[in-house]
Amino acid sequence: MVPLRRTARLLDRLPPVRGRYAENVALAAITWFRVGGVAEVMFRPADRADLRDFLRAKPADVAVTVMGVGSNLLVRDGGVPGVLVRLGRDFAGLAMAGTEVQVGAAVLDANVAEASVTAGLGGIEFLSGVPGTIGGALRMNAGAYGREMADVVRRAEAMAPDGSLHALEAAALGFRYRACRVPPDWIFLAATLHGEPAAPDAIRARIAEIKTARHESQPVRSRTGGSTFRNPPGARAWEVIDRAGCRGLRRGAAMVSEQHCNFLINTGGASAADLEALGEEVRRRVLQTTGVALEWEIVRIGQVAVLAAERAT
């Protein structure tokens, strides 16, 4: 674990909150890759008002980063400076009424899919194949098995850096492939999804199909971060990676999955730098071999670790 370089204790500059602050939180214990440095300060707001008051009172120069469950995320070895926000219990509500689902940003995508069985609400089953939380799914317009968030979101709520709350209809979200046009420094708080009445048995069967398909095609039991690169126009990322001869490619303990070569794996003891460098090598080889410029889908945050020799100078 690499400590962050700092000149003063950040916690002393932050406003009082009703939630919890924690310093030097080891993020490798949280992320699915099991790599990365520390969060200088982690903040778990008690509720929306607590988050709003924090954003309004914090020093302007303090960076804020939002993290869900760390599923589609690579935290660099140098850690995350500033404040890392993790939404908790007050942002994890889940209620179904008619054909609508009111869901908080901290709810796991898979839990929404499971709840749809009891409610007899179809069309949301794809979320069982999307790792992570609703907040991340909104930010990335996450999708799997033929559907994506753009197909089911009616509206969402987000908080701007000044603490103002915004209700956004589906059109205002500007969903596109694995992205939306909501400013990256806005924090998603909740969403309203919609589905269609369906037989619970049929919904359960579809979820089982998705689970089987994932286990057969993806390294779900490995330390991975999900799909590494976005599919390029007119192609699939795994196909061009395979064509470039990158299946099974290694850098240290980081490896391109043999099972699905759009997944990177920490085989044990890899660093974030190993994984990121391996991803960049895949991009280089794919571009050289096929002319396709792959774009990262995994979100990379934090700073590169400072070498011991540099720290000593």
Taking only the tens place, the pLDDT of each residue in 140-184 is 999 999 999 999 999 999 999 999 999 999 999 999 999 999 999
Strand 100-104 and strand 94-97: the pairing is: antiparallel
Residue 8 is predicted with a pLDDT of 73
Count of residues in the chain: 313
- Give the other-Cβ count within 10 Å of 312's Cβ: 7
- Give the other-Cβ count within 10 Å of 194's Cβ: 17
**Residue 265, CA distances (Å) to 68, 128, 260 in order:** 20, 21, 10
**Residue 129 backbone class (left: φ over 0; alpha: ψ -120 to 50; beta: rest):** alpha
What are 191's two structure tokens?
A: 């969403």
Which listed residue (125, 148, 276, 297) is catalytic?
A: 297
Our answer to whether residue 178 is catalytic in this structure is yes
d(C-alpha 180, C-alpha 291), whole Å: 26
Which listed residue (71, 116, 128, 227) is catalytic?
A: 227
Per-residue pLDDT in tens (0 to 9) along the chain, 313 residues: 555 555 579 999 999 999 999 999 999 999 999 999 999 999 999 999 999 999 999 999 999 999 999 999 999 999 999 999 999 999 999 999 999 999 999 999 999 999 999 999 999 999 999 999 999 999 999 999 999 999 999 999 999 999 999 999 999 999 999 999 999 999 999 999 999 999 999 999 999 999 999 999 999 999 999 999 999 999 999 999 999 999 999 999 999 999 999 999 999 999 999 999 999 999 999 999 999 999 999 999 999 997 543 444 4
d(C-alpha 154, C-alpha 197), whole Å: 16
Taking only the tens place, the pLDDT of each residue in 78-99 is 999 999 999 999 999 999 999 9
d(C-alpha 63, C-alpha 301), whole Å: 12
Our answer to whether residue 250 is catalytic in this structure is no
Our answer to whether residue 44 is catalytic in this structure is no
Domains annotated on the chain, with CATH: 10-88 (3.30.43.10), 90-215 (3.30.465.10), 223-301 (3.90.78.10)
- Rg, the chain, Cα only: 20
Residue 278 is predicted with a pLDDT of 98
3-state percent breakdown (helix, strand, coil) of the chain, nearest 5 = 30, 25, 40
